[in-house]
Amino acid sequence: MEANIRVFMLMAALTALVMVLGWMLGGGGGAVLALLIAGGMNFFAYWNSDKMVLRQQGAVELSPNQGAELYALTADLARRADMPMPKLYLLPTEQPNAFATGRNPENAAVAVTQGLLRMLNRDEIAGVIAHELAHIKHRDTLTMTVTATMAGAIAMMGNMMLFAGGRDGRGGGIGAILAMILAPLAAAMVQMAISRTREYEADATGAAICGQPRALASALQRISAAAGRSVNVPAEKNPAAAAMFIINPLHALRADRLFATHPPTEERIARLMALEGRAAPVRPTTSSRIPRAGRNDPWSRG
């Protein structure tokens, strides 16, 4: 509840910042127009953001026959979470990682990388999938889409201030320059704060869904270590999607906490280990690892 209140307040701050910039550009009418433009951008993102990000990341949709065991594992976790089965996608990169997208639980997708299936065991993969299902269940994918869209609108309006701010007395030239620099900076800080808050919640809910906090903690540790020494090419080309992944995929980017897209991995692991012993054990499985893509596996064919 406290996290939800914090997210609401941060999104209200983004909305207020949009209206302030609109007012600086065009008075009361400009504030209303800015709010309408941001709303239109959010409407477009609501319907199209999942398709856009999956296409940008080079995701390939998996059929039940192509990923039978992964499908069975995800379906079981979705039942435990009391939510619909999402679509599954494979990302053609060897960096272990995953993300969820979609406007609601009925229209959602979970994407995992080839590296995740190769490097993690079954329990760890279950923890990662459960984490992504938690994002879907909490509608974090929609929240992050809205915040990213509004942050983009603020950055655009901040640039417009350089040309319009000095002509009508609302801030003058210096005010315009400050708005151009500080407004996008503030928007990025709010966006990252929301992202960090949602990761903690998804970790806790994901641990409850899969029943093994330790497995999710182990997965986070292994993914974080691999992300620091490998390159996720699609993510490097489209860094705006970095906040969607379970661990920041940008191996070259190590921002401080104020601008970090994710909480420190060590803190996430510590919180998960504090939950150990309070979660119900996951049912026994027949295999400790999801099969790798092999010569006869459809995943390995272009």
Q: What is the pLDDT of residues 36-67, one digit of tens each?
A: 877 777 677 777 778 888 888 889 999 888 88
pLDDT at residue 291 above 50? no
Contact 204, 210 (CB under 8 A): no
Q: Averaging pLDDT over each range in 17-31, 90-104, 247-261, which range is the top one?
A: 90-104
Distance CA 103, CA 295 (A): 36
Mean pLDDT value of segment 12-41: 74
Question: What are the φ/ψ torsions at residue 110 (nearest 5 degrees)?
Answer: -120, 130
The pair of structure tokens assigned to 36 is 């309408």
pLDDT, residue 163, reads 63
User: β-strand 60-61 against 98-104: which pairing, if any?
Assistant: unpaired
pLDDT band at residue 277 using 50, 70 and 90 as cut-offs: low
Query: Residues near 217 by Cβ (< 8 Å), separated by ≥ 6?
Result: 127, 268, 269, 272, 273
Beta-carbon contacts of residue 220 (< 8 Å; ≥ 6 apart): 203, 246, 247, 265, 268, 269, 272
- List, as own/partner pairs, every contact residues 46-49 make where C-beta atoms lie below 8 angstroms and the sequence separation is at least 24, other chains included: 46/103, 46/142, 46/145, 46/146, 47/103, 49/101, 49/103, 49/145, 49/149
* Whether 276 is catalytic: no
Q: Report the C-alpha gap between 204 and 199 in whole angstroms.
A: 9
In this predicted model, which residue has the larger pLDDT, 256 or 121? 121
- Nearest CA to 98 out of 63, 65, 59 is that of 59
Over residues 125-135, the mean pLDDT reads 97
Confidence tier at 26 by pLDDT (50, 70, 90): confident
Structure tokens of 201? 């919640």
pLDDT tens for 142-191 read: 777 777 666 767 767 766 666 655 445 455 556 566 666 666 666 666 66
CA 93 from chain centre, in angstroms, equals 18
Residue 200: its pLDDT value, please? 92
Whole-number pLDDT of residue 143:
76
pLDDT in the model for residue 170: 56
What is the pTM assigned to this prediction?
0.74
Select the highest-mean-pLDDT range: 100-109, 211-220, 248-257. Answer: 211-220
Return the amino acid letter for 230: S
Return mean pLDDT, the chain.
Answer: 77
Mean pLDDT of 116-121: 95
d(CA 59, CA 112) in angstroms, rounded, equals 9
| 100 within 8 A of 109, measured Cβ to Cβ | yes
**Is it the case that residue 279 has pLDDT exceeding 50?**
no
Distance, in Å, from the CA atom of 231 to the CA atom of 265, rounded to the nearest integer, reads 18
- Say if residues 178 and 185 touch (Cβ distance below 8 Å): no
Selecting among 132, 201, 266, 276, the annotated active-site residue is: 132
Label residue 22 by pLDDT band (50, 70, 90): confident
Q: How far apart are CA 205 and CA 193, in angstroms?
A: 19
pLDDT for residue 248: 86
Task: Decide if pLDDT at 9 tops 50.
Answer: yes
Do the beta carbons of residue 100 and residue 116 sit within 8 Å?
no
17 neighbors 183 (Cβ within 8 angstroms) = yes
Three-state DSSP state, 282: coil
Which is more confident, 227 or 126?
A: 126
Q: Does the pLDDT of residue 81 top 60, yes or no?
A: yes
Query: What percent of the chain has pLDDT above 90?
Result: 34
